[in-house]
A and B are shown apart, each in its own frame.
Chain A
Amino acid sequence: MNRLAGYLLCTFALGGVAHASDGPTAPPGKDPAAHGKATPRKVARTPARPAPSRFTPPPANAIPDDEFGRTVRLGRDIFVHTQQYARDYVGNGLNCANCHLDDGRKADSAPLWAAYVVYPAYRKKTGQVDTFQSRLQGCFRYSMNGKPPAADSKEMTALVTYAFWLAQGAPTGTRLPGQGYVKVATPPRAPDLARGREVYRSNCAICHGADGEGTQVNGEYAFPPLWGKDSFNWGAGMHRVDTAAGFIKANMPYGLGGTLSDQEAWDVALFMDSHDRPQDPRFKDSVAKTRDAHHDEDCLYGRTPEELAASLKKRAKSGK
């Protein structure tokens, strides 16, 4: 029984990695997951490995004490204390490390080391091949609701150097386990605002505030705001309910990752993303037009929860 469960889990996990359709595409023929899938007997004979081993970035205290290390440190400072170190480029109250936990090292929390090795890559969102720099510029534009630092700026160089340092020894051009956020299966019941509000009240409000406003200490956010003017804007990845559910499922409540059910993660993600936040910087003419031009995804931009539920149902049926 355990062996079978382990095998199924393994196949599923590998398949999930190989077929995750969102984000950059790995070059064909380089994916170890595809190889594992083609030889199931081999996998079946190694029952004690339910998940592929994960890349481990070097520990923070291993940053070298030289000129290179100084730039790595600056990158880490910008990443963790974005409000202080990259103030000019931020238009809200967030720091990079709010969504990329453990200073950008935590697996299933969009770790920097895994992001670094999948760029340059074609992205549907921008309709072009993005370099790692242009991908980071997107973070500043949407998640940080700010204005992107130039590709050759001191800040960008430091961030890229920090990511490069974290990724040392990792293979390039391949999706590493733990990359991005986990994909949470479409829940059995359509995501629901009332249930989401209840999940929020009993699990999230203690840190993020009764109304998603975050908690400040001495004028700085100790816990980030989840909606409103100081949060990510309508163009950020986290405004997608499926993305938010994946982040929440693996990482929230902080320190209690994995304790919410899939249904609870979807419900509370819907609740969070149903609130108003800064406008999508790509806004043109009207919400409906902007939605049609840029929001072909599982989100509430110009959509009702019912419309989103219908789209999720259709997607689940078609198996995409």
Chain B
Amino acid sequence: MKHFSKGLFVGAFVGALTIAAPLSYAATLKDQLVIGTSLAQVLSLDPHQATEGKAVEIMSNLYDRLVNSTPDGKIVPQLAESWKVDDKGITFTLRQAKFASGNPVTAKDVVYSIGRLLKLDQAAAANLKRVGYDKNNVDKLVTAVDDKTVRIDFSGQVTAEMLLYRLAASTTSIVDSVEVQKHVSDNDWGNAWMRTHSAGSGPFTLNRWSPNELVILDANKDYVTGAPKMKRVIVRHVPESQVERVMLERGDIDVASAMTAADLATFKDKQGFTIQRIPTGGFYVLSMNAGNQYLSNPKVREAIAYGIDYKGIEKTIMGPYGRARNVPVPENFESAIPNPDWPLDVEKSKQLLAEAGFKDGFSLTLKTIAQTPRIDLATAIQASLAQVGIKIDIQQGNGSEIIAAHRARDFDLLIPQTSAYMPNVLGSMEQFSSNPDNSKEANNAGNFVWRSAWDIPELTALTAKASMEPDAKKRGELYVEMQKLFVEQKPAVLPMFERFEPIVLSSKVQGYVGHPTQLTRLESVTKSEAQ
């Protein structure tokens, strides 16, 4: 009996192996690109609604805009084949393009799309609203001259260059007005339908979106510059970094993003893979609530700025994710000023605290989203500030919890992140240097500086002036002035690290170039033979 049992056990085991063995798995096909990432934040694929990075990456392949910005920041034609700038506005001439539905792209679609963006009036509209376009004036400012000509007049708060950059964003995507209007219900501008369908003229169309599972894009064979090389693009939700790593190693995905620094490190110098470190122009920031009794004192804020070991954290924690920098403008941008002299200096920091009247230190809470690398960053700041005498109590939460606290000014310290919407000083800095009304009643929760209750009227005025300056040279001077003033004010929104998005690619993939504002286009991506 005993022998029988053992025999049975061994037999079953061997049997299981032989059943399992023939099931072998092919790597991804040559004409399909598979991207592994976290889709948890993707809530909509309506370009006039969604602003989340991963959604933008998908939508930028479904839709075209009038103009496009290249990864190195140049404005190039997309649906507009040319444009003329005059004193009052810009006139665009459209190229002969078609939507995936077969309808031609006309000036009417452009007018409809920009109107739809502003009348739907969600976060996506913020970019244009910030420079004076809104649902009330859009019909007057954006008009169709003829079938293939569109006129956009200046709002009075924007220069031609600033407007072009905004028109290159995914939020100003041009949608198929005929198709969208077929799906309007309850005056929703077709939003309910558009969240899960596409009506664009981009190189791909949306085949399927299952939230938190996958997104399948099909090649648009009639795309104006020819069908993309990839027949399908599959974006797969892989929430677990280690699992993503294994899938990439195994060849089941071709491109991986949203990995932890530790998993990323395993691909360094590994044959068959390359790491791309995409600059975002944005920052990991320490927001200090200037409404707090301690943090309202600029000396305390300066003490904190001296109390963080930027270089050490860059080396041990940020790795591919960030580079130490305390001015909210990447150092390779034109007119960027050198870093202020705020290295870790415990003695100086203590002295500043003493001068501020807090010789014995105090306690603060630090809120952060429990996510790589922010959570490790919080721990490092806690350790570093402990040496100065500031006791930090870390409170972790999920995205909506922490953002809600940030919006409600309900925090002492908090670690948000930013990104630049254009590759110039204003594009990365504006959100750090403008707060038109700091009163509680203004309730301007959409403003990053307001959330820190940091009152900066002078800097706000200077920012507005710079954004209206048409002369590039004078603008450059204003940019330098803005940055200097920012540093002088001992910022309550303290940039710590310039932010990068690292991705890992299989070397089978060619032509994938990550875009700083996630407008990564996939039409020219190719794949070599599966290895």
- Decide if A and B are genuine partners: no
Give me the interface of B with A, judged by CB distance under 8 Å.
Answer: none
